[in-house]
Amino acid sequence: MKSRYLIFFIIIIFSFTTKASSVDSLLRVVNVEKKDINTVNALIKITKHLRSNYPDSAAIYANQAFRLSKKIGFSEGSNSAVYELSVIEYYKGNYDKSLEYIVLSKELLKKEKGLKRKLASTLLMEGTVYKKMGNFSKAIEIYNECLQVGKELKDHHFWILASNNKANIYRRQGNHDVAIQMLEAALELSQKHNLKKDEIMVLGNIGLVYKSQGEYEMALIYLKRVLLYRRENNNKRNIAINLNNIGNIYSEQEKYNEALKAHQEALKIRENIGDKSGEASSFLNIGRIYLRAFKDYDNALKFTNRSLKISEEIQSDNNIASALLAIAEINKEQRNYEEAIVNAKSVLKILKNVDRLELREDAYDILSKSYEAIGGYREAISYFREHQAVRDSLFSQNNRDAISNLMQKHQTEQYEDRLNRQLDKAKANRSFYLGVISFLIVLGFLSFYSIRQKQVANSKLQQLNDEVNARNDELLMTQNSLKVANQDLNSFTRIASHDLKEPLRMMSSFSQLLKRRNKNLDKSSQEYIIYITDAAQRMSRMLDDMLSYATHSIHIENMEYLDVNKILETVKQNLGLRIEENNATINVSNKLPQIKGQASLIEQVFQNLIANGIKFQHPDVTPEIIVTGESTAQESIFRITDNGIGIAPENQDKVFQLFKRFNQEYEGSGIGLTTCKKIVGLHNGTIELESEKGKGTTFILRFLK
């Protein structure tokens, strides 16, 4: 009797947020004394209503449905109950437990025929769990199996779901073109067959692809449209997910107040529905905003620790690693380097069982910088090497995917064109052409094999050379690693620039041709053509700048001890006209420490920093630049201080990034400071800054002795 009253009480509460007629009918069935198939089905329906917002309550009904199904021999009910339990555990963040229920569900399905629809649902759930765990290759394998089952069933819903989830993985891997193609196909199918829920789901993921590409305004348009639909249907879990995505976009746009508001609303919803994994994510996002936007370390640490506590409760390695990494970042920012090192090492220990290269990359970066700050240079170099290796792995993986898709598309177009031309020829010449094609294929294979063997031999030779160099000079090994990474970047940028500029030229040319041939177009159409032309030209200029930076190779050829005072005399001569035009004052200490390096490159660094100090000035202020230096047992330190416009705190971590410009009224391409950082790094040094907006900037150069 007590269990019946408990059921009655929960359903009455639930009826306030669900359609009254549906709840009433389920209540009548559950209260029937006779325990039969209808009772099981009613319990399953109640579970589905509750699982999203109240997973713990839903588990009670799912277990009751499973026990009753076993008792009356209702195999389909047993499978449905087990499937619902797997979904509930997924919502609670217990992914291993969810997989256990999925294995049990698949075993039950093997014993029954005609349950392919149930199998498709189970496969979708399995793929989603693997995706959440970061095992993308396994998730894609499961989704492909689900697509095949959906095709056999001729069920558009399952096909759309599997395609949507695969596209989500490709988006996370940076393969945006493939993701968009899959989502557009799924959107077209959902609209054609009036599958509204599927359409909304796909629209949300299209918004996330735009977010990944940096098109934040377009992403917000899609996500806010989806959020409106979710609010109308009161799906609390999906409302929270949408708010989380919107908050992340606002953070990327540096609209931190809007971001904080969205994450706080998402957190409140997740606390109400008992979504522990979601709570951990929301606390972590709020902590990051307090750290990065407001430099409020106390609140940042408070919210991040709450995220860590919940993650440990639900035993989510992904969430634990993310929270610990955020705590390490907070400690590093506060100069608590020892604690940051402990946190980052804990992250690496957890990540031994989790495939999250981006987290491992950040952990190595924190370890390298923290050890450097406390004078542990050997450890700093070791972890810097690990950081470079992980970054190269991520870079190579993304490049391989992108280039592979471009090559596959190009090869497909070539093959179709060749086939069409062959079909137009006389049948009498078919054997001859087939022989020629076969010969070319064999020749191409042999050429490819020969080139590949040469590449393998060259790779092995390069590896041996690197090992010899490492034994002689540990620092030289670090420089070689950087050189390889830059060569990879140069190679990819040349490919991207060459392949992308051609369609841009066609876009610009044909849009202008369209404008000339259609002079009677309405004003809106003419504006659209102008937008196309301007966008193509802007993209072309960006590609030119990217190619210029990537192909601007920097090599250290003649390392020698340099008199920095003489180098600065040369810099002042080079900038003589600019100094005179701006009435600038350059004050240099008489005895600056010597450093070992290449004179032309070090000259380029000082010249760029002093030129920036002259350029980025208030209109009514005379530029004044002061260069000082000091020498310690381990390093030589230089400070270049100006009285210019300064740099806002939120932009100080970004000024060394490629193409980052924060003052559009000043000319420039945004690659000067990136080049300085590159040159200083090649000299086994670091560059950092101290600045206050409106009061000037000090750049600090450190070179190891």
Our CA angle for 583, 585, 586, nearest 5°, is 140
pLDDT at 87 > cutoff 70: yes
Residue 700 phi/psi, 5-degree rounding, is -115, 120
pLDDT band at 416 (very low <50, low <70, confident <90, very high): very low
Find the mean pLDDT for residues 90-105: 86
The residue written with tokens 């557009």 in the block is 184
pLDDT band at 317 (very low <50, low <70, confident <90, very high): confident
Collapsed DSSP state (helix, strand, coil) of residue 336: coil
Find the mean pLDDT for residues 487-492: 62
pTM for this entry: 0.47
Q: What percent of the chain is modeled with pLDDT above 90?
A: 32
How would you class 446 by CB atoms within 10 Å of its CB: exposed for 0-12, middle for 13-18, buried for 19 or more?
A: exposed
Find the mean pLDDT for residues 652-658: 82
CB 129 within 8 A of CB 144: no
H or E element in which residue 692 lies: none
Three-class DSSP labels, 422-461: HHCCCHHHHHHHHHHHHHHHHHHHHHHHHHHHHHHHHHHH
pLDDT digits (tens, 9 = 90+) for 57-84: 888 989 998 999 888 888 888 888 999 9
Sign (positive or negative) of CA dihedral 441, 442, 447, 450: positive
Structure tokens at 589: 């200490």
First to last CA, the chain: 81
Checking phi first, is residue 646 left (phi over 0); if not, alpha (psi -120 to 50) or beta? left
* Distance between CA atoms of residues 384 and 478, nearest Å: 8
Q: What pLDDT score was predicted for residue 585?
A: 94
Output 63 or 653, whichever has higher pLDDT: 63
Q: Which of 51, 93, 58, 132 is nearest to 280 (CA)?
A: 93
Q: Which of 653, 637, 690 is nearest to 329 (CA)?
A: 653
Q: What pLDDT score was predicted for residue 223?
A: 92
Q: What pLDDT score was predicted for residue 2?
A: 40
- Name the most confidently modeled range: 1-10, 149-158, 237-246, 403-412: 237-246
Output 699 or 434, whichever has higher pLDDT: 699
Q: How many residues does the chain have?
A: 705
pLDDT band at 353 (very low <50, low <70, confident <90, very high): low
Structural domain spans, the chain: 382-551, 560-704
Our CA angle for 232, 233, 234, nearest 5°, is 95
* Distance between CA atoms of residues 225 and 176, nearest Å: 21
CATH architecture of the domain with range 560-704: 2-Layer Sandwich (3.30)
Residue type, 199: E
CB 613 within 8 A of CB 575: no
DSSP state at residue 644: S
